[in-house]
């Protein structure tokens, strides 16, 4: 209030008059205050606006303008909110002044609360006009929908009608309305059906509906039902577009007799789980059993599903047991969701409720008891049902009793948005001893916390500002506690904690007659910042309460850096997109890790492209660690071809001194897959004792430089049964005592003539002469296409069962083709491929080292080909055997490991081809499945 008893200064009066005149000419809604803080007039602070549409068009043509009027008032009193901020926006319209062709400029609510403006359409479609009113910290929005229609043209109708309708049954019908000029769907067209023969229903429910409005796809959907048992019935359809053009059509449908026994009567809807984590990933199976009046399951019944929240699979069909299933996936909000199952045939519905739970709000004040005049930082954290931070979502926070509101900006209630960590940071303040209640709400979750401001005064002091991080240095911390009248508080209990170092005595002390208490802090081994915190409690027993709290920092200084270690994880990253963490750890001469050391990261040698980056290039150690990120360039390195190092730096004036260096370590920047190899370990199979058997398999993937590819490179596996296998006997005569033949058993592979590779016998494919059912392919493969399967001679007698020819004269030779004088040389078939390779030597009866045969062909020049003439016809063939393998496995350490699974009873007779593919590079291996007859 002005003091009129004092003498007025003429110069001050003149300046005040100029200020008043300038305010009279201020543009409405604008402020002369140059600060960024909003200035709200007292008469509208905290009022909630009520926005009523007085007049607005439902549609306009693209070149037309239309008037929109709204009335804005206080929801509590009904009076206009004079001076409240006003904003009118639109995504589809230009917002113009009601009295001129210029833009609408009014930015505050006028005295009478009436706002009038014009909108001008641009392109066709559904548009909105948004009116926003802000009064103090309160805000209200209203959205007005207006359609911009095409110029009037006659509509074209495409109908989807059944050929006939079953009596006493519902049938779906759909009409698609199209612009006849541009051949595109027309939205907002009204389709009306009238009929004396049919009752018209909505597309999903049981309510009658004679009219529907098309959506963006131009479709209007109905279902029709008739009591007629035969004959025909008619439908009259009228279409009226949003532009006002109408057309009428008539349709005649025949009626077939009712099949009442097939119509469902009951639906039983159940959920495997009635509660899901509100994390956007948890899901549950929902099942609908469809039965008739006799409780007989009804197969092939189509159902549609909808939900009031989450994501649900839209449709399903009942199986032979009358069961249809769908899956509901949760969303990140606490709520109860109703899932509706609708039977397409009758429109009958059933519902099931599933709850989403687990979204939580954590309120984290830095302190819950403060001295008056203290600012308390507060963190709000929003997490979903899987405890994952929710970023970018709205959070409503309220403080009851906070002086100056949140952040000391006068706002007691705010709607804020969480950051990338799901957090929002602010603070509260009080100059009086009181309790402040903080409430947070978001996504169906609510949390509450209390911060107490005390009139007690707690002061802390340290005998020295820093101590040496040698594990022996000490500092004395003294606390003084006084009440609101500045009197000493005797016999108060103090509880001490520290973030670094340790106390030499118990962390519980009591104040003396002067309200003073002390404790001694001993330094740790290492450097950093020790925050010593103390809480003071008054009273005793059940009446004990927190009176005050405080903290004091004590710096723990480091010894000199003597050792620096650099780690890279991972040490193999993909070219162009790969990233790895560089982690440096500094140690002093006492082998303590050190905090606050400036560490520089550098690339001693790159891959050669020059576009590798390290960010940040320097970092201070925190908890002993400094970190940076290395990003790969566009050039592939050799193995460990990128060299990295770290150095500990010390700033001395304008110079930077290197005081310690790490060893240089290597990093591999690997390229895409260039070569892939696959193998199977038939000696280390796994028996799960369930009738199956598993074999380990692995693919090794390398790039063009021979580096193992980076972890996470996908490898796709597949298996194909390629042959049946059977056991045959071989004999070796003995010319010496005891003159009897030695027997041996070896395995023979049996591919067959399957010309179109469909894994079954077709009419034009020769059946096996040894299969009495004449249903199996002939076992053998005509490799050279001459119509004859040429059997090779027996390979060798595998006396030691190692699968290879060991040495000349140790095991019988393969007989080669006859030479020019009728002799048949042999050769050692080391790889058991049935042909003479360049690494396999001929056995030469002439001892002249000459070979006069075709090697892999017989005397007629035909290829040797596998065949068999005596197996039981009930042996399974590859096309009848299921052998599985996981489809896609990511590499770890350059290899992708997986398992082949097959039925044990088939393992005796089947060989498979296992194929591995990555980035278009493919490799395969063929393996006989090991013999496993049962689970014993």
The 3-state secondary structure of 617-670, one letter per residue: CEEECECCEEEEEEECCCCCCCCCCEEEEEEEEEEECCEEEEEEECCCEEEEEE
The arithmetic mean of pLDDT across residues 578-599, rounded, is 86
Higher pLDDT, 864 or 321: 321
Instruction: Assess whether pLDDT exceeds 70 at residue 903.
Output: yes
Whether pLDDT at 384 is above 60: yes
Mean pLDDT of 717-737: 63
Average pLDDT estimate for 48-64: 83
Q: Which of the residue ranges 465-479, 624-638, 747-761 would you say has the lowest mean pLDDT?
A: 747-761
d(CA 861, CA 855): 10
Q: What is the pLDDT of residue 545?
A: 82
Is the pLDDT higher at 608 or at 425?
425
Pairing of strands 579-588, 114-121: unpaired
Most confident among 260-264, 463-467, 590-594 (mean pLDDT): 463-467
Q: Could you report the per-residue pLDDT of 130-178, keeping only the tens digit for each?
A: 999 998 888 888 888 887 776 667 788 998 888 778 776 778 899 999 9
Give dist(CA 868, CA 749) in Å, integer.
9
**What's the pLDDT at 447?**
93
pLDDT at 279 over 80: yes
Residue 925 has pLDDT above 80, yes or no: yes
pLDDT confidence bin for 27, thresholds 50/70/90: very low
Q: How many residues does the chain have?
A: 936
Band the pLDDT of 763: cuts 50, 70, 90.
low
Residues contacting 393, CB < 8 A, separation 6+: 332, 382, 417, 418, 442, 443
Is a pLDDT exceeding 80 seen at residue 334? yes
Q: Which of 272, 262, 267 is nearest to 342 (CA)?
A: 267
Tell me the pairing of strands 155-160 and 665-670: unpaired
Alpha-carbon span 287 to 324, nearest angstrom: 6
Would you place residue 494 in the very low, low, confident or very high pLDDT band (cuts 50, 70, 90)? Answer: very high
Pairwise CA distance, residues 175 & 164, whole Å = 17
Determine what percent of the chain is predicted with pLDDT higher than 70: 76
Q: Report the distance separating Cα 250 and Cα 237, nearest Å.
A: 6
Inter-residue contact 916 to 678 (CB < 8 Å): yes
pLDDT of residue 94: 85
Query: Cβ contacts of residue 496 below 8 Å, gap of 6+?
Result: 477, 503, 507, 508, 509, 519, 532, 533, 534
Query: What is the structure's pLDDT at 500?
Result: 87
The closest of 522, 511, 401, 412 to 459, measured between CA atoms, is: 511
Choose among 695, 653, 659: nearest CA to 678. 695
pLDDT band per the 50, 70, 90 thresholds, residue 674: very high
Choose the weakest-confidence range: 56-60, 378-382, 597-601, 697-701. Answer: 56-60
Contacts with 34 (C-beta within 8 Å, 6 or more apart), sequence order? none
Q: Give the tens place of pLDDT for each residue, 808-837.
A: 344 444 444 555 555 544 444 445 555 544
Average pLDDT, the chain: 79
What local confidence, expressed as pLDDT, does residue 840 receive? 39
- pLDDT of res. 715: 95
Residue 502 is inside which H or E element, if any? strand 502-503
């Amino acid at each position: 209030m002005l003091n009129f008893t004092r003498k007025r200064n003429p110069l001050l009066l003149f300046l005040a008059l100029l200020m008043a005149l300038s305010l009279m000419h201020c543009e409405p809604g604008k402020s002369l205050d140059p600060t960024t803080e909003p200035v709200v007039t007292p008469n509208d602070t905290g009022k909630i606006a009520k926005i009523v549409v007085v007049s607005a068009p439902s549609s306009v043509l693209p070149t037309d303008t239309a008037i929109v009027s709204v009335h804005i008032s206080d929801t509590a009193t009904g009076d206009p909110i004079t001076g409240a901020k006003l904003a009118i926006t639109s995504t589809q319209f230009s917002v113009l002044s009601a009295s001129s062709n210029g833009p609408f400029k009014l930015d505050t609510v006028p005295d009478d609360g009436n706002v009038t403006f014009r909108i001008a359409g641009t392109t066709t479609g559904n548009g909105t006009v948004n009116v926003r009113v802000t009064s103090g910290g309160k805000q209200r929005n209203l959205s007005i929908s207006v359609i911009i229609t095409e110029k009037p043209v006659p509509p074209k109708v495409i109908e989807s009608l059944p050929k006939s309708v079953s009596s006493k049954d519902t049938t779906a019908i759909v009409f698609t309305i199209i612009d006849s000029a541009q051949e595109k769907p027309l939205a907002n067209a009204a389709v009306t059906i009238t009929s004396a023969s049919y009752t018209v229903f909505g597309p999903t429910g049981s309510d009658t509906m004679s009219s529907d409005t098309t959506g963006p796809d131009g479709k209007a959907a109905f279902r029709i039902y008739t009591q007629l048992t035969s004959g025909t019935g008619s439908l009259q359809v009228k279409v009226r577009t949003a532009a006002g053009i109408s057309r009428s059509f008539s349709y005649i449908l025949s009626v077939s007799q009712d099949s009442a026994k097939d119509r469902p009567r009951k639906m039983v809807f159940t959920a495997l789980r009635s509660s899901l984590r509100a994390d956007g990933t948890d899901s549950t199976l929902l099942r609908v059993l469809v039965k008739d009046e006799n409780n007989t399951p009804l197969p092939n019944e189509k159902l549609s599903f909808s939900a009031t929240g989450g994501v649900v699979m839209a449709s399903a069909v009942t199986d032979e047991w009358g069961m249809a299933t769908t899956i509901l996936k949760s969303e990140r909000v606490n709520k109860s969701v109703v899932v509706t199952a609708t039977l397409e045939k009758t429109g009958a519905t059933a519902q099931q409720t599933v709850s989403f739970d687990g979204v939580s709000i954590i309120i984290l004040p830095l302190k819950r008891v403060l001295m008056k005049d203290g600012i308390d930082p507060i963190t709000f954290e929003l997490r979903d049902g899987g405890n994952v931070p929710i970023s970018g979502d709205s959070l409503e926070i309220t403080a009851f009793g906070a002086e100056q509101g949140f952040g000391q900006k006068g706002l007691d209630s705010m709607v804020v948005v969480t950051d990338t960590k799901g957090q929002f940071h602010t603070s509260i303040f009080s100059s009086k001893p009181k309790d402040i209640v903080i409430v947070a709400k978001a996504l169906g979750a609510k949390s509450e916390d209390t911060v107490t401001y005390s009139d007690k005064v707690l002061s802390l002091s340290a005998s020295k500002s820093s101590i040496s991080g040698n594990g022996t240095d000490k500092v004395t911390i003294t606390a003084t506690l006084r009440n609101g009248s500045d009197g000493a508080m005797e016999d108060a209990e103090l509880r001490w904690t520290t973030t670094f170092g340790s106390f030499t005595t118990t962390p519980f002390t009591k104040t003396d007659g002067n309200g003073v208490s002390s404790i001694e802090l001993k330094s740790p081994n290492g450097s950093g910042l020790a925050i010593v915190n103390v809480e003071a409690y008054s009273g005793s027993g059940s009446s004990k309460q927190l009176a005050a709290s405080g903290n004091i920092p004590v710096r723990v200084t480091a010894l000199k850096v003597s050792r620096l270690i650099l780690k890279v994880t991972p040490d193999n990253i993909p070219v162009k997109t790969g990233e790895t963490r560089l982690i440096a750890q500094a140690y002093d001469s006492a082998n303590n890790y050190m905090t606050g050391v400036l560490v520089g990261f550098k690339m001693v040698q790159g891959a050669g492209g020059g576009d590798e980056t390290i960010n940040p290039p320097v970092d201070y150690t925190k908890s002993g660690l400094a970190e940076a990120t290395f990003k790969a360039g566009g050039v592939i390195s050799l193995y460990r071809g990128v060299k990295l190092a770290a150095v500990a730096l010390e700033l001395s004036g304008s110079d930077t001194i290197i005081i310690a260096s790490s060893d240089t370590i290597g990093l591999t920047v690997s390229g895409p897959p260039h070569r892939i190899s696959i193998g199977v370990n038939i000696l280390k199979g796994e028996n799960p004792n369930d009738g199956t058997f598993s074999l380990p398999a692995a693919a090794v993937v390398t790039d063009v430089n021979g580096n193992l590819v980076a972890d996470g490179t996908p490898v796709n596996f597949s298996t194909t049964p390629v042959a049946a296998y059977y056991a045959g006997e071989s004999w070796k005569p003995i010319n010496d005592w005891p003159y009897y033949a030695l027997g041996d058993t070896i395995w023979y592979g049996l591919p067959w003539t399957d010309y179109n590779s469909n894994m079954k016998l077709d009419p034009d494919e020769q059946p096996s002469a040894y299969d009495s059912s004449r249903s199996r392919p002939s076992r053998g493969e005509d490799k050279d296409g001459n119509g004859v399967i040429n059997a090779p001679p027996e390979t060798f007698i595998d006396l030691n069962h190692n699968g290879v020819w060991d040495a000349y004269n140790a095991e019988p030779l393969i007989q080669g083709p006859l030479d020019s004088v009728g002799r048949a040389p042999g050769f050692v078939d080391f790889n058991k491929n049935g042909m003479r390779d360049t690494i396999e030597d001929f056995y030469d009866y002439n001892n002249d080292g000459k070979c006069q045969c075709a090697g892999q062909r017989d005397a007629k020049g035909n290829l040797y080909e596998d065949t068999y003439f005596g197996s039981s016809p009930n042996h399974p063939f590859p096309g009848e055997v299921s052998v599985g393998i996981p489809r896609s496995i990511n590499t770890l350490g350059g290899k992708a490991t997986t398992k082949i699974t097959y039925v044990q009873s088939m393992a005796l007779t089947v060989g498979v081809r296992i194929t591995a593919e990555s980035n278009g590079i493919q490799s395969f291996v063929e393996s006989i499945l090991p013999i496993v007859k049962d689970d014993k």
